[in-house]
Amino acid sequence: WAHDVVRASPAEVDLVLWCPGDRTDSALESSARDLALRARRAFRISERVLARVQPGASAPALLSLVRLPRWHVSQVLTHDAGLVLVADGIEYAGNLGTLVRTADACAADALLLTRATARVTHPKVFAASRGTVLTTPVLTYEAVGDAREALAAAGFTAYVADPGGTTS
């Protein structure tokens, strides 16, 4: 599924490693061929190399290194944007991936992260987002105030939900 997502996205593929092994898997082989054509570099590797690069993996296997898109605030927070999810202090990559998937599911124009310790480039983010991290704009801010300023400058009204809040 992961390589199907990459194939369908505009993401830049840096590296493809294909280990066919002894078994044939025509779908995986087709993905490997397609991605190799898009990749900057592509290599056919042995099962021994596969074991060193990705412990626990078995042939046939396809590995790829994909660049996440870089989103700029001027591309994302435009007058056309209607819904932006803002999350503060996200610590776990799986939770971040779920937020990205949720933003995608409700057709949000972006996800803004403030003070996040989970990094968007973590493999668990890709898995938990089911690959939507390749197509959902994610902007990160060190401080909540910076995100607030960017949203205000773009004309957004912010609504805050705090699980510890005393006012509904």
pLDDT score, position 160: 79
| Confidence grade of residue 78 (pLDDT, cut at 50, 70, 90) | confident
**In this model, does residue 136 exceed pLDDT 90?**
yes
What is the arithmetic mean of pLDDT over 27-34? 90
What is the arithmetic mean of pLDDT over 116-140? 95
pLDDT score, position 22: 84
- Asked if the peptide bond before residue 60 counts as cis, ω within 30 degrees of 0, the response is yes
- Model confidence pTM above 0.85: no
* Mean pLDDT of the chain, nearest integer: 92
pLDDT score, position 17: 96
Which residues does 97 contact at the CB level (< 8 Å), separation at least 6?
A: 124, 125, 126, 127, 128, 129, 130, 133
Q: Give me the percent of the chain exceeding a pLDDT of 70.
A: 100
Nearest to 138 by CA among 116, 120, 156, 150: 120
What is the arithmetic mean of pLDDT over 125-147? 94
**In this model, does residue 21 exceed pLDDT 90?**
no
